[in-house]
Each structure stands twice: as C-alpha cells, then as structure tokens.
Amino acid sequence: MEHPSEGRDFGKYTLLERIATGGMAEIYRARMTAVAGVTKPVVIKKILPGYADQSAFVSMFVNEARIAAGLSHGNIAQVFDFGEVDGQFFIAMEWVDGHPLSRVLRRAREKGMYTLPQPLALLVTVEVLKGLAYAHTRLDDRGRPLHIIHRDVSPQNVLLSFEGQVKLVDFGIARARMAGGYESDEGDAKGKYAYFAPEQARGRELDARADIFAAGTLLYETLCGRLPFEGSVTDVMRKIAVGDFPRPRELEPDIPPALERILLTALAVEREQRYPTAEAFAEVLTRYLHTATPDVSTSALAHFMGYLFETELVADGRPVLLPREFLGQMARWTRPPSERRTLREPPSAAPLEPPPETPDTPRPPEGRRERTTQPIPAVPGPSSDAPAAEPPPPEPAPTLATPLPPRPRVPNAMALGTPVLAAMGVALVVMMLGRNGTFSVELSSSPPGANIRVDGRPLDTLTPALLTHLPADAEHLLEVHIPGMVPWSQVVRAERGTTLAVHARLRPRMNTPAASATSARAHHAPPVQEMDWAPGGIRLSAVSHAFRVPVTNAARVPLDPARTYLVHTEGRMSLGGPMSVEHAGYFLEGDANLPAHDSFGVLGPDEQLVRHASMLHVFALDSRRDDNRGGLQVRIRELGGASLAPFRLDSRQHAVKLSRADRFVLRALDPGTTYDVVLRYTAEPARTRGLGGGPVGRVLGLVGTGPGPEGSPSGLALLEVGQPTRLRGASWLQLAFPDDNLADNTGTLLLEVIPVVHPAGGQTAPAEHRHGRTAQ
C-alpha cells in the first residue's frame, strides 16, 4: 500500500494513501482543502491511463458520474466531484470509515464464521435495498424517470462503516466498464459475473429488477457462506440463465422456510416473478426481520464491525466498547448449526413473498402472542430497547402489587389468608407461563403502610404487599418510603419461580443540626473526582459528579411536554480524533412526569423517544473545540404529527467541556487489557430529579486514549445499570450525570471496571467478583 510521505497534490485534493488498484482504476484516501483551511476526507478514484484514450468509455464514464453525483441518500456513498487532472479522469466521493462487505466476509471466516449472523445479513440487505429503491425511482429536472440501474451490486461495492452504516458505491459505473470492454478480462470479471441476473446473462435489456436479483445473490452469499452460482465463467452464465443453484436450506438447514421463500422469490429466473421493486423486497425482509428479531438495529452492526476489526481499531487508538448483550448474541450466533437456535419462524403458514402475478407485497399475518388472564399485573423489567419508528403509546402507571393484610403472630398459611393464597396461586401460574421466567417478592415494612417503588415506578399499593412477575434475568430496585422517615432501598434478584421475603425497617429522619452533623461524619468520605484504576468498586455521586446542562453551550429547542417526539441525527462530525462520529449527547428539561432515568442519553441515527419534555438540549461532549470540524443535523418529528424545523449541531459552537469539579475520571487503564464495565445500584441510589423522579440508573461517559480527556480524542458512551459493557483499547474513562438542578440530587451508583483478558490472553476476575451483589 502506497503512503505518500507528505501527500501528493492532485488538483484541489491531496492524495494521502493508495487503498487499492483494480482493472479500471486506482483508489486513494485523500483530503480536500476548502476555503478558510477547512478540510474534508474523501476518496479519489483515478481512472487508469489505458482507459483515457477510449472515447466510448470516457463518454459513458462522464455521463454516469454526473448521474451518480446527483444521488443523495444515506445508503449511497455521495459523489462530490468528477473531472480531469493532467489527463487523468477521477471521481471524488465520500470517505466511509469501514470496510467493504467482501473484506467483512473474509474476516468473519477467519474468526470461524462462514456465514454472517442471520439478523445482520438481513439488516445489511435491507439497507442495500433502500439505496437501490431511492436510485431506481429518481427523476430528472423535467420529472422523467432516469432509469438508474446499479448493474454491479456485489460485496466489493457495499461498504460497512464502524458506526453501522451501509453504503453502496460505484452507482452506474458498471455501464462505463462495459463500454471500455472491461469484462473481457475473465480474471477481473469472474466475481462480477456471479451476480448477474438471468436476463443479463442472456444479453437482454436490463431494468431495475436486475439489481433485485443481485441483492438476492448477495443475501444468499451472506446466509449460506457461498455464492449460488459457482464455477467457470461459462458454467456460471449457464447456471444463472436456467436458475441452477442449491436451495438455501440444502446448504444451511438453520434458514427458516419462510426466509428461504423470500430468497427464492428474489432469485426467480423470470424477472416478472421477482419482487417488482427494491422497496417491495425491502419491506418483506423488514417485516420478517422485525418479527423474527425485533430488537436488531444498526448498533448491532456497528458492534459486529468492532468485534471483527477490534485489533486494527485498538492499534489506531480507537477504544472498542462491546455491550455484554451483544457478546451474548455473538455466542448464540456463532454456535455450530446443530447447537444454535435460528431466527424464530414467523407464526404464519402463508408465504411472506408476493405472488408472482400481483405487484403488491402482502403483509404477513401478525404474530400471535399467548395471553394469560392475570388478576395480578406483571412488573415490567428494565429495558433500554430503542423505540421503533412508531412506538407504542405511553405506558400507564403500573399497579403491580397485591396488598397483604396486617400480619399477626399466627401460622404463615393463616397469616396470608385465602385471598392472598389465591393471588399467589395465580402468580405462580403466571410465572410458570412467563417467557423469560419470573419471581415474586413478599415486601413488608416497619412501620407498615409505606409507599413502594419498583425500578423507579411507583405502585398504587402500600406495604405489606406481594410483588409478582419480576423478570428473573435482571436485578430490580425496591424502594420503600414514608414522609418524615429515611427512605429504604434494596436490590433483589432471584431464580425463576421463587418468592423472596423482604422486610424494610424505616427509621425517623433526624432534623436537628447535631444529628445532621453526626450523620454526615458517619457517612463515607466524599467521592473523589479522579483516580487511577485499582481493583474494587467506585461510587459515582449524583451530587459530586454532575454538571448543569442549561448553562453550557448546548443547542436548545423548546418542546411541548404534552406531546411525544421522535428525535435523531443525520450526518457526521469530527471531534479531532481519527474517526468522525454521528452521535451527540442530549438532556431534557421537563415536567414532574419526566423520570430522571429518561432525562438524558445519546442521540444517533436511530430515532429516540422523547416525552414530558419542555426543552431539548443537544451537545458534543468534548474537551477541545479547536480541532473539531463539521456538525450534525438534528431532526425532530411529533409522533403522529408534523416535523419541526431541523437544526444544526455545530461541533465547535455546541461543544461542552466539563470542569474537574463536574465529573469523575478513571485513569491508568491498560489499552491492551479487556475490561467489563458494570454499573450497579447502591442502598441509596443516585437521583437527579428528587425522590419523585425516581432513581437514575445510567451515566454519560467518554472513553479515549492518552493521558486523559483534556486533549486526547474520545468517544461518547452511555452506561446503564444491568447492561455490562466490554471495553478495550482505552486508557481513561470519564463519567458524569447531566442535570439542570443539582440541589435535589442524592445518592450514588457503584462502578466496577473489571479486567477480563490481559494482552497475553490470561483470564482474570473470578465469576463471583464479576457478578457480585451491590455494595450496601
């Protein structure tokens, strides 16, 4: 790979590094310098000199490049410029920080995965189809169809970014290749022929359905681990023309029949029997994906890229954060076929693909859910799932408990009473039928009649009470309080089918100055603002490790607390590091119904649900502004209503730097060591909106390399209780609670950063330490 020492001038561009050379062009990573010294990373594709003398090729190339430059879509790499410098024709296009799908497949095979995980293979194909659907329907200035066809949908032309984006490149350039006689070179064209549609192999006129066939071939390859058509060029062309290929389930029995039917429709020999449009194909795949794996998103694709290319990213000084949930998914996805369970088959006997004779894509029947009559409503477990495009209506306040009568000193069965025993019987049935397994808590207090919160949600009943249907796969925070008494809390977790007996002893609140001083001295020492890593837990204080957002440089947008909004970002910006970013921090001011846990987080391309908010603050969390470039478009739409005017988040103007008094910094992490980062509730959980706002089980953070956040590049992270995160390649971690009023803040969260794998590969941190109970 060529690395020009100081860069080589090429018109208004500087060529920095040659990435690849093909049969038609050589590709460089380059830099464009605009006015006022503003620079932009780009890719320059220089046409090889042998093609510059072919008038037919040049004419076709210029025409197709002009069309490609007019395409602007999130799944198409933007063409910024094309022209000629010193007799060399070139295209300047968007730099996508990632790798082509062809290299992703090779790296996956090196890690023992001969197919992509099914949810990710479907997700990549859906994104490719979105880009194709956009291009296929473009019109010229007079409203006439442009009839744009890619003609070269293949793994080499599908780019996957480390942020989870999927981008198509080389739109329409295949026609220029043909004009130059490119496919006469069998060695170069062999891979391209394998993605031809049957009408292409027969030499017939093409339409957009040729791209649909190619996308089906791409999906087949990622699901089955091989191409449907293999052999010499002559054999491949013959097999394509007649549809001679192994059925997907013959190669990969884990592919569900409904998914195979979708794939076979896309690979129909006669184009009239395929999906009529790329949009129709994408809709069928999307419905199947959301039915089979409803929680998959581009974030999983971003984590997968970090998983595959972790070594290179860490070597470049880019820490890799892999959530424990994703690592669990990978463990399931990479099991041998005989041991792993595949995507759930959508509960429908009807085919998901459209009948060949109809142009419309029918919706599959909605998946049936088993329903159980439940006199005792279920306690919802904590969740961080991103909202869907059309999220459900706001949940009503939970009434999650069955009150228990006062308990005299009599045998237990008599003490519970027949109604309660009946309720417990129903609860037992519910737990046995629960999909994930549940447990119950028999909660009492001294004195009785205390208010109850479960995972921050207030209940409509008082102690004593029976709490049922608590998911057994998570920790739950129980809180009991009576006005004038010190609040009590405890974290509980139990195996499915069990019932815990928990008693809360409340004590009067002492308001005298002497008592307050004594209590303050008895309390543990104030939290430190920074420290070097050492084994053990660290308390993050909602008082000492919080910053006030309204007085910062954050961008502000007023909202109506009575309305529900969906917010996301578009574009990318540079915060001085080697990788541009598409995420920003946000904070909400709101009414009394806004929970503290929902008051801040991270915005990205996926829509974020916002409720009970009167003001939205968006900011780039960064310690330096002078090396920042670009910005993000923040888009807000009302759920079921109109969109608000988008606004620009400027990476310099809206950068927020935290003072040493407003955050906690953990230094001296080893970039070569893998860590598990775990947040836990404490006996007095962190609160940033008073008692009524509930506990805040998350904290906003930065990770980076170098000595600390004062000058080194960093990446934004959101850590949450119950969602362990895996960290590698970082030397420091900064954490803070965004807030608007520090006066009502109380409590702490416990942070554990546990080494798991050292550079030599040795395992550390015993299981009981990694999964220990919260320090009380």
- Residue 565: closest CA among 640, 629, 657: 640
**Amino acid identity at 79:** V
pLDDT digits (tens, 9 = 90+) for 241-288: 999 999 999 999 989 999 999 999 999 999 999 999 999 999 999 999
Helix axis angle for 118-136 and 278-292, nearest 10°, is: 150
pLDDT at position 605: 87
Q: Is 152 a catalytic residue?
A: yes
Tokens describing residue 536: 């053990």
Task: Choose among 583, 566, 630: nearest CA to 162.
Answer: 583
Q: Which tokens in the block code for residue 199?
A: 């009408």
C-alpha pair distances (Å), 322 with each of 327, 364, 701, 705: 7, 34, 15, 17
**Separation CA 180–CA 55 (nearest Å):** 9
Dist. CA 453–CA 462, nearest whole Å? 10
Q: Which two tokens stand for residue 614?
A: 């009167």
In this prediction, residue 107 carries a pLDDT of 93
Strands 573-574 and 629-638, by their bridges, are: antiparallel
> Where do the structural domains in the chain lie, given as residue ranges?
8-94, 99-333, 401-505, 530-770
Please tell me which residue in 86, 152, 739, 744 is annotated as part of the active site: 152
Q: What is the pLDDT of residue 173?
A: 57
Cα 752 to Cα 57, 214, 665, 681: the distances in Å are 61, 48, 13, 11
Task: Give residue 162's pLDDT.
Answer: 93
Tokens 């890690």 belong to which residue? Answer: 111
CATH class of 8-94: alpha beta
Q: What's the residue count for the chain?
A: 776
pLDDT at 247: 94
Q: Which fold has domain 99-333?
A: Transferase(Phosphotransferase); domain 1 (1.10.510)
**Residue 617: which of 701, 557, 700, 688 has the closest Cα?**
557
Task: Tell me the three-class secondary structure of 187-253, residue by residue.
Answer: HHHHHHHCCCCHHHHCCCCCCCHHHHHHHHHHHHHHHHCCCCCCCCHHHHHHHHHHCCCCCHHHHCC
CB 299 within 8 A of CB 606: yes
Which residue numbers in the chain have pLDDT < 50?
1-5, 174, 176-191, 337-436, 512, 514-524, 764-776
Right CATH number for 401-505 from 1.10.10.10, 2.60.40.1120, 3.40.1740.10, 1.20.140.10?
2.60.40.1120
Give residue 516's pLDDT: 47
| C-alpha separations of 605 from 93, 431, 516, 568, 625 in Å | 21, 37, 48, 5, 23
Question: Looking at residue 352, what DSSP letter applies?
Answer: S
Tokens of residue 146, six digits: 């442009």
